[in-house]
Amino acid sequence: MIRFRIIKREPLPGWARIVIPIAAILVTLILSAIPILLAGGHLWKSYFYLFHGALGTRYNLLETFVKASPLLLTGLAVAFAFRAKFWNIGAEGQLLAGALTATVFGVHMGSFPSVLVLPTVIIAGFLAGGIWASIPALLKTKLKVDDVVSTLLLNYVMIHIMGALLFGPLQQPGSSWPRSSAIIDAACYPILVARSRFHMGIIIAFAAVLVIWFINKKTTFGYRSKAVGTNIRAAHFGGINTTSVILWTAIISGGLAGLAGVGELCALQYRLIMDISPGYGYSGIVIAMLGNLHPVGVLFSSLFFSVIIVGAQTMSRMTGVPTYIAEVIQGMALMVMLIFLLFTEYKIRLIRK
């Protein structure tokens, strides 16, 4: 008789942290062959168009970055919160709060000097996301309300607030659709590469990676936040003001998600619409986990996700495999990564009897 036993393994060397994600992605692609074949696609052709569609042409490559920027920001938002064990499932709502506030400022700041407009819009969007995230943080610290539930439910609250405003005061005059007026030109993100949609928000997202890495690694706040996430009782015992750490972690996390909303509004849509986010906030959770809550990990996992999303369009057009395959691959990637992470700490031993 053969039995399996899961036992702890010796710590892996440093290079494993690079090799494991790559191996996880390879395994994901191998496993994804099954649904592609089931959908009647030709395997090599499908994978070729998947990657060619995302990376093969200048426009598509830049488009991959466009898609990556909101994913990167929501991924960072979730990763930063999770590191302190603030279970922020509400990046979607915080993104919408950011987009909504950016709309209000972006539409109505016509009489201001134009240099002030964009910074104001960005800061307002960041704060809106942060303040929206501070509600569940306060509920958690003051009233012990479970943060998973409150952050998740506040997403729906924000969707309905947005709906109410888009059918009410924010609705474009004369329109019967739930959409706002267009924001003024001064509130639009500059396009940085000609003949593309490569905009300033992408730079903001990449800068956010550096900022979060810096906060985590170099600041006392990053240290406190990690301590709170590791053992809140011991952190409290050690004199850390855990309430304030959780609150500020939530504000920064929500602010990052809010910036994702500002980017979608000011660089791509230019007006608020109901489906301004196809669930970037939720994808952020998967991306944060896939990136092992590390900012650089989040950077790569968001790029991987955007490659899959953008490439799936081309693949679908050229081979007839439905674009939903992108979501299958994303889900698969998370599963494989979680299993791989498990095996960084444990191994299976066969016992023969």
Partner 1 sequence: MENNDQPVVKMASVTKRFLDVTANKDVSFSLYSGEICALLGENGAGKTTLMNILFGYYTCDEGAIFIKGKRADLSSPKDAISRGVGMIHQHFALVPSQTVLENIIVGADPGLFLNLKSARRQLLELQVRFGLKIDPEAKVWTLSVGEQQKVEILKALYRDVDILIMDEPTAVLAPAETAELFNTLRSLVKEGRSVVFISHKLNEVMDISDRIVVLRSGQVVAECQTAETDARELANLMVGRELLETIEKKELPPGEPVLRIKSLAALNDKKLAAIRSLDLIVRRNEILGMAGISGNGQKELSEVLFGMRCPTGGFIQINDKPLKFGSPTASIKSGMGRVPDDRIDTGLLMDLSVEENLILENHSSADLQNFGLMKSKHIQQFSSDLIKKYGIITAGRDAVTKSLSGGNLQKVMLARELAGEPSLIIASQPTRGLDVGAMEYIHQRLLQERERGAGILLISEDLDEIFALSDRIVVLFEGKIMGEAPGATASREQIGLWMSGVKA
Cβ distance 36 to 325 under 8 Å? yes
Residue from 223, 274, 323, 335 binding partner 1 (CB under 8 A): 223
Binding mask 174-213 for partner 1 (x = CB under 8 A): ----------------------------------------
Size of the site for partner 1 (CB under 8 A): 24
Residue 350 touching partner 1 (CB under 8 A): no
Q: What's the Cα-to-Cα distance from 140 to each of 30, 89, 222, 306, rounded to whole Å?
A: 42, 14, 20, 33
CA distance 260 to 243: 26
Please choose, from the candidates 114, 39, 83, 55, the residue with its C-alpha nearest in 3D space to the C-alpha of residue 252.
83
Binding part of the chain for partner 1, among 104-112, 151-159, 202-210, 233-241 by CB under 8 A, reads 233-241
Comparing CB distances to partner 1, the nearer of 238 and 320 is: 238
Q: Which is nearer to partner 1, 242 or 277 (CB)?
A: 242
Binding segment (CB under 8 A) for partner 1, from list 25-33, 52-60, 239-247, 317-325: 239-247
Say if residues 103 and 183 touch (Cβ distance below 8 Å).
yes
Please tell me whether residue 221 binds partner 1 under the rule CB under 8 A.
yes
User: Which of 188/227 has CB closer to partner 1?
Assistant: 227
Q: Residue for token digits 């602010």?
A: 255
- Which one of the spans 134-142, 179-187, 229-237, 268-276 is the region binding partner 1 (CB under 8 A)? 229-237
Could you give the angle at the alpha carbon of 269 between the alpha carbons of 111 and 50, nearest 5°? 155
Site for partner 1 in 143-162 (CB under 8 A): none
Both tokens of 9, joined, read 């393994």
Q: How many Cα atoms within 13 Å fall on the side-chain side of residue 154?
A: 28
Please, what is the minimum distance in Å from the beta carbon of residue 124 to partner 1?
A: 25
Considering the complex, state which of residue 195 and residue 353 has its C-beta at the smaller distance from partner 1.
Answer: 353
Instruction: For the CB of residue 337, give the shortest distance to partner 1 in the complex, in Å.
Output: 20
From CA 250, how far away is CA 104, in angstroms rounded? 23
Q: Does 233 sit near partner 1 (CB under 8 A)?
A: yes
The one among 15, 119, 351, 352 contacting partner 1 by CB under 8 A: 351
CB under 8 A: which stretch of 13-21, 42-50, 98-106, 228-236 binds partner 1?
228-236
With b for 16 or more beta-carbon neighbours within 10 A and e for fewer, the 162-197 pattern comes to beebbeeebbbeeeeebbbbbbbebbbbeeeeeebb
CB 81 within 8 A of CB 253: yes
111 belongs to the binding site for partner 1 (CB under 8 A): no
Q: Give yes or no for residue 237 binding partner 1 (CB under 8 A).
A: yes
Site for partner 1 in 5-44 (CB under 8 A): 8, 10
Angle between helices 147-166 and 114-143 (to 10 degrees): 140
Is-contact 254 134, C-beta < 8 A? yes
CB of 224 to partner 1, least distance (A): 8
Q: Are 106 and 99 in contact (CB under 8 A)?
A: no
Query: Which of 14, 113, 174, 239 is the binder for partner 1 (CB under 8 A)?
Result: 239
Q: How far is the CB of 237 from partner 1 (least distance, A)?
A: 5
Return the sign of the alpha-carbon dihedral for residues 337, 341, 344, 348.
negative
Residues that bind partner 1 (CB under 8 A): 3, 8, 10, 218-221, 223-224, 226-227, 230-231, 233-241, 351, 353
